[in-house]
């Protein structure tokens, strides 16, 4: 089969449709859109194009077993879609700490943090995160999503402006939408564009918060923090950085983007998730004691949501200690990153500006991407296609996430499949 045969392979029921198609389907029956979407996803399953929500029957490690919805059997796959960057979800110290925390504190925290759900374990984690991020204090949330939503919506008020890199994570954008303030964007990693927005907004608004991802979640590139800081100082703006994909990955000791640029202590607000390299669940904001104190009362996703369960908190404390005492994990992750980026580039793939553990392989054609993903799944490699509207149509892609625990065999098996499929569909 050559690239042109994609046309016959994708049936009319799904051809040209993506998730954006089902957002607005006006009908007197408010649930009509769900029926239409259900038919669409059924058809995706029939043709083996439905790779969302694959069910794991094992831990999220370098090799997983899944319950394959197409064959209804259990099968092994090389996992290239986990954010468990350092392999800590199953680290013995992490597991043991979770069990000990359950034994001492039980299953749940019992309440929201302000009204009875805050344990000494939570405080220990806050202080560890503050120290790791070189900040005075930290506050924890039930997810990275809710820490971004809570932090941005608490700080950006009427007559304030949140100035976002266009590729910022959805949780930041949702926080801006919930806030009483105004959302403005600048072109991805483009300092001229940022300065233009700063200049234009300077007179129009009171407070200005520049928000960027440290490592961008779809592109795997790093924000230009030193230049952003210069511009922030020039225009009297504050900076918030989302360290979701940077913590544990970049910086000499894995402390993230400020450490990578030797700018620790210079960034006003350092947010992040506890679910990727830190391998459990939750989110945090590290900042000055005043900002953290304010968020405890005004970040609604913190205020009105029960504190993290003790098992998670215990595991997270142990995970941070592992990051600090076992640097060889990060070293191995970087070996894997460099090996994959250099080999994929050698093969001729377009990887955008990939430079961290997230590697996009740009396909730029939805039909081709669907067919390629089906073959990659069948070949036993678990990675995700990313379609419009998550990324622009011309930049639809395969997205790989690397881990320290990937073996040479995992990497080579993945490269072999991607090269074969890439050739078949004319990408290389």
Residue 64 as a binder of ligand PMP (CB under 6 A): the answer is no
Bridge partners, residue 210, by sequence: 163, 239
Q: How far is CA 84 from the centre of its chain?
A: 11
Nearer residue to ligand PMP within complex by CB, 137 or 242: 242
Separation CA 97–CA 148 (nearest Å): 27
Residue 275 as a binder of ligand PMP (CB under 6 A): the answer is yes
Residue 301 as a binder of ligand PMP (CB under 6 A): the answer is no
Residue 423 appears among annotated catalytic residues = no
Q: How many CB atoms lie within 10 A of CB 206?
A: 10
For residue 56, cis peptide bond before it (omega within 30 degrees of 0):
no
Pick one of 273, 336, 356, 384: the residue that binds ligand PMP (CB under 6 A): 273
Pick one of 143, 189, 356, 414: the residue that binds ligand PMP (CB under 6 A): 143
Residue 257 as a binder of ligand PMP (CB under 6 A): the answer is no
Residue 399 as a binder of ligand PMP (CB under 6 A): the answer is no
Catalytic residue among 62, 128, 208, 276: 276
Catalytic residue among 245, 368, 377, 406: 245
Pairing of strands 397-401, 384-386: antiparallel
| CB burial string 326-351: b at 16+ within 10 A, e below | beebbebbbebbebbbebbeeeebbb
Pick one of 217, 287, 356, 366: the residue that binds ligand PMP (CB under 6 A): 217
Separation CA 104–CA 281 (nearest Å): 20
DSSP readout, 241-278? EE-TTTTTTSSTTS--HHHHTT-TT--SEEEEESSSTT
Residue 51 appears among annotated catalytic residues = no
Residue 284 as a binder of ligand PMP (CB under 6 A): the answer is no
As measured in angstroms, the least distance from the Cβ of 398 to ligand PMP is: 17
# binding residues, ligand PMP (CB under 6 A): 14
Residue 126 CB contacts under 8 Å (≥ 6 apart), including other chains: 137, 138, 139, 140, 284
Residue 242 as a binder of ligand PMP (CB under 6 A): the answer is yes
As measured in angstroms, the least distance from the Cβ of 229 to ligand PMP is: 20
3-state secondary structure of 181: coil
Residue 217 appears among annotated catalytic residues = yes
Nearer residue to ligand PMP within complex by CB, 386 or 421: 386
Residues lying near ligand PMP in the complex (CB under 6 A): 143-145, 148, 169, 171, 213, 217, 242, 244-245, 273, 275, 283
């Amino acid at each position: 089969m050559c690239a042109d045969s994609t046309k016959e392979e994708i049936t009319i029921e799904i051809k040209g449709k993506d998730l954006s198609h089902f957002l607005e389907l006006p009908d007197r029956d408010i649930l009509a859109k769900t029926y239409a979407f259900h038919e669409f996803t059924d058809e995706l399953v029939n043709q083996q194009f439905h790779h969302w929500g694959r069910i794991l029957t094992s831990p999220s490690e370098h090799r997983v077993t899944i319950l394959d919805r197409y064959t209804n059997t259990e099968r092994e796959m090389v996992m290239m879609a986990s954010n468990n960057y350092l392999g800590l979800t199953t680290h013995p110290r992490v597991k043991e700490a979770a069990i000990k925390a359950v034994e001492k504190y039980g299953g749940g925290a019992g309440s929201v943090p302000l009204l009875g759900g805050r344990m000494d374990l939570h405080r220990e984690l806050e202080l560890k995160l503050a120290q790791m991020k070189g900040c005075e204090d930290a506050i924890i949330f039930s997810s990275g999503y809710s820490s971004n939503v809570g932090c941005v919506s608490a700080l950006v008020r009427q007559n304030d402006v949140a100035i976002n890199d266009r590729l910022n994570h959805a949780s930041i954008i949702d926080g801006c939408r919930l806030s009483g303030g105004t959302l403005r964007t600048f072109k991805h990693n483009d300092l001229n564009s940022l300065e233009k927005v700063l200049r234009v907004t300077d007179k129009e608004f009171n407070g200005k918060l520049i928000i960027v991802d440290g490592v961008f979640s779809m592109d795997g590139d790093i924000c230009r923090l030193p230049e952003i800081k210069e511009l922030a100082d020039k225009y009297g703006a504050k900076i918030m950085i989302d360290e979701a994909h940077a913590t544990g990955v970049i910086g000499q000791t894995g402390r993230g983007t400020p450490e990578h640029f030797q700018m620790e202590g210079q960034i006003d607000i350092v947010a992040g998730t506890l679910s990727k390299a830190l391998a459990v669940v939750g989110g945090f904001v590290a900042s000055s004691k005043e900002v953290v104190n304010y968020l405890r009362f005004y970040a609604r996703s913190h205020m009105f949501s029960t504190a993290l369960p003790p098992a998670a908190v215990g595991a997270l404390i142990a995970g941070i200690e592992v990051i600090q005492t076992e640097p060889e994990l990060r070293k191995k992750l970087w070996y894997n990153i460099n090996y994959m980026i250099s080999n994929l580039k050698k093969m001729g793939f377009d990887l955008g500006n990939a430079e961290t553990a997230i590697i996009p392989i740009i396909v730029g054609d939805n039909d081709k991407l669907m067919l390629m993903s089906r073959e990659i799944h069948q070949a036993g490699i678990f990675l995700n296609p990313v379609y419009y509207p998550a990324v622009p149509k011309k930049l639809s892609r395969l997205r790989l996430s690397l881990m320290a625990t990937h073996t040479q065999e995992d990497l080579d098996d993945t490269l072999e499949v991607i090269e074969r499929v890439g050739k078949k569909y004319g990408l290389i």
